[in-house]
Structure 1
Amino acid sequence: MLNNLIYSISKKYIVVVFLIIFGFFAPTSSAQNLDSLLVELESVMSKRSVYDNEKETRINNLKELLADKNNTNKNNYYLINKIIDEYAYYSFDSTLCYINKNLKIGQELKNDHFINETRLKLSSLLISTGRYKEAVDLIGSIKKENLSDELINNFYENNMEVYSRLSFYTPISENKKAYQELYEIYKDSLLSRIDKDSESYLAIIEKELRDERRLGEALVINSKRAEMVPNDSRAYAIIAFERALLYLIKGDVENEKMNLIKSAMADIHESIKDNASLTLLSTILFKENDIERAHKYINFSFEDAEFYNSQFRFVNISNILPVISKAYEKNSMEQKSKLKTMLIFISLLAIILLASLFYIYSQVKKLAYARNKLKIVNKDLKKLNAKLSVSNNDLNRLYNELSEANRIKEHYIGSFLNLYSDYIDKLDIYRKMVRKYISTNKFSTLLDLTKSKQVIDTEMEVFFKNFDESFLHIYPTFIDQVNNLMQDEYLFGVKNEDRLNTELRILALIRLGISSSSQIAKILRYSVNTIYNYRVKIRNCATNRELFEDMIKKIQ
Structure 2
Amino acid sequence: MIKRNSLKWMAVIAVFLSFFPSLWAGSSDSLLVKLNQTIEQRPSYMQRKEEALETLRQSLSKLSAGNVEGRMNLYEALWQENRSYNTDSSLFYATALSQLAQQAGNEEQKQNALLHRATALMTIGMFKEADEIIKPLREGGVLPGQRSQFFHLCRSLFGLMADYAVTAQEKAAYASLTDDFRDSLLTIYEAGSNMYRMIYADKLTAHGKYAEALRELLPFTPTGDGRFDAGYHYTIAEAYYHMGRIEEARHYYTLAAISDMQSDTREYIALRKLAVILFQSGDIDRAYHYLTLCMADAKACNARLRILEILDTFPVVNEAYLEKKQQQQRIITGVLIAISLLVVSLTFAIFSVLKQKKALQQAQTDLAHANSQLNEVNRTLVEYNEEMKRQNQLITETSYLKEAYITQYMDQCSSYLEKMESFRKRLRQLLSAGKTKEIQQALTSYNQEVETELAEFYDSFDTTFINLFPTFVEDFNALLREDEQVQLKPGQKLNTELRVFALIRLGITDSTKIAHFLRYSVTTIYNYRTRMRNRARGDRDELEKQVMEIGKKALKGANPPQ
Q: Quickly name the TM-score band, shorter chain normalised.
A: 0.5 to 0.7
Work out the CA distance in 1 between the residues paired with 2:178 and 2:356.
91
Matches within 5 A, 1:432-511: none
Work out the CA distance in 2 between the residues paired with 1:135 and 1:121.
10
The answer (yes or no) to whether the contact 2:266–2:298 under 8 Å persists in 1 is yes
The answer (yes or no) to whether the contact 1:278–1:301 under 8 Å persists in 2 is yes
Q: CA deviation at 1:303?
A: 0.6
Partner of residue 48 from structure 2, selected from 25, 48, 54: 54
Q: CA deviation at 1:146?
A: 6.9
Letter of the 2:277 partner, please give it.
Answer: I
The answer (yes or no) to whether the contact 2:279–2:287 under 8 Å persists in 1 is yes
Partner of 2:295: 302
Work out the CA distance in 2 between the residues paired with 1:292 and 1:228.
30
Letter of the 1:64 partner, please give it.
Answer: Q
Partner of 2:159: 164
Partner of residue 106 from structure 1, selected from 101, 105, 113: 101
Matches within 5 A, 1:321-336: 321-336=314-329
- What SS is found at the alignment partner of 1:229? coil
Partner of 1:271: 264
- Alpha-carbon spacing, 1:262–1:87, altered in 2? closer, same or farther (3 Å): same
Work out the CA distance in 2 between the residues paired with 1:200 and 1:130.
26
Q: CA deviation at 1:117?
A: 0.9
The reply on whether 1:352 has 2:340 as its aligned counterpart is: no
Letter of the 1:65 partner, please give it.
Answer: S
The answer (yes or no) to whether the contact 2:272–2:290 under 8 Å persists in 1 is yes
Aligned length: 335
Partner of residue 36 from structure 1, selected from 11, 30, 34: 30
Partner of residue 61 from structure 2, selected from 46, 52, 67: 67
Gaps of 5+ in 1: 1-6, 9-26, 366-556
Work out the CA distance in 1 between the residues paired with 2:167 and 2:138.
29
The reply on whether 1:221 has 2:219 as its aligned counterpart is: no
Letter of the 2:336 partner, please give it.
Answer: L
Partner of 1:148: 143
Letter of the 1:289 partner, please give it.
Answer: G
Work out the CA distance in 2 between the residues paired with 1:189 and 1:277.
26
Q: CA deviation at 1:252?
A: 0.9
Letter of the 2:321 partner, please give it.
Answer: Y
Partner of residue 135 from structure 1, selected from 130, 142, 152: 130
Partner of residue 288 from structure 1, selected from 272, 281, 286: 281
Q: CA deviation at 1:227?
A: 2.5
Q: Deviations over 1:106-127 (max 9, x none)?
A: 1121111111111112222223
The answer (yes or no) to whether the contact 2:63–2:71 under 8 Å persists in 1 is no
Work out the CA distance in 2 between the residues paired with 1:157 and 1:278.
22
Letter of the 1:44 partner, please give it.
Answer: T
- Alpha-carbon spacing, 1:65–1:167, altered in 2? closer, same or farther (3 Å): same
Partner of 1:549: none
The answer (yes or no) to whether the contact 1:92–1:308 under 8 Å persists in 2 is yes
Work out the CA distance in 2 between the residues paired with 1:69 and 1:179.
43
Partner of 1:493: none
Letter of the 1:253 partner, please give it.
Answer: I
- Alpha-carbon spacing, 1:179–1:250, altered in 2? closer, same or farther (3 Å): same
Work out the CA distance in 1 between the residues paired with 2:49 and 2:209.
39
Q: CA deviation at 1:323?
A: 1.6
Partner of 1:254: 247
Q: CA deviation at 1:287?
A: 1.8
Partner of 1:178: 173
Work out the CA distance in 2 between the residues paired with 1:106 and 1:143.
20
Work out the CA distance in 2 between the residues paired with 1:207 and 1:164.
11
Partner of 1:95: 90
Partner of 1:343: 336
Work out the CA distance in 1 between the residues paired with 2:144 and 2:97.
21
Q: Deviations over 1:328-357 (max 9, x none)?
A: 111112112222222222222222333454
Letter of the 2:254 partner, please give it.
Answer: I
TM-score when scaled to structure 1? 0.56
Partner of 2:232: 239
Partner of 1:205: 200
The answer (yes or no) to whether the contact 2:226–2:263 under 8 Å persists in 1 is yes
Work out the CA distance in 2 between the residues paired with 1:223 and 1:82.
33
The RMSD of aligned alpha carbons is: 2.9
Work out the CA distance in 1 between the residues paired with 2:61 and 2:72.
12
- Alpha-carbon spacing, 1:176–1:363, altered in 2? closer, same or farther (3 Å): closer
- Alpha-carbon spacing, 1:136–1:143, altered in 2? closer, same or farther (3 Å): closer
The answer (yes or no) to whether the contact 1:144–1:152 under 8 Å persists in 2 is no
Partner of 1:45: 39
Q: Deviations over 1:287-315 (max 9, x none)?
A: 22211111111111111111111211121
The answer (yes or no) to whether the contact 1:199–1:228 under 8 Å persists in 2 is no
- What SS is found at the alignment partner of 1:275? coil
Partner of 2:112: 117
The answer (yes or no) to whether the contact 2:240–2:248 under 8 Å persists in 1 is yes
Letter of the 1:162 partner, please give it.
Answer: L
Q: Deviations over 1:459-478 (max 9, x none)?
A: xxxxxxxxxxxxxxxxxxxx
Work out the CA distance in 1 between the residues paired with 2:178 and 2:353.
86
Q: CA deviation at 1:156?
A: 2.6
Work out the CA distance in 1 between the residues paired with 2:354 and 2:212.
78
- Alpha-carbon spacing, 1:223–1:150, altered in 2? closer, same or farther (3 Å): farther
Q: CA deviation at 1:164?
A: 2.6
- What SS is found at the alignment partner of 1:274? coil
Letter of the 1:302 partner, please give it.
Answer: M
- Alpha-carbon spacing, 1:336–1:157, altered in 2? closer, same or farther (3 Å): closer
- Alpha-carbon spacing, 1:129–1:243, altered in 2? closer, same or farther (3 Å): farther
The answer (yes or no) to whether the contact 2:63–2:70 under 8 Å persists in 1 is no
Q: CA deviation at 1:275?
A: 1.2
Partner of 1:192: 187
Q: Percent identical across equivalent pairs?
A: 25
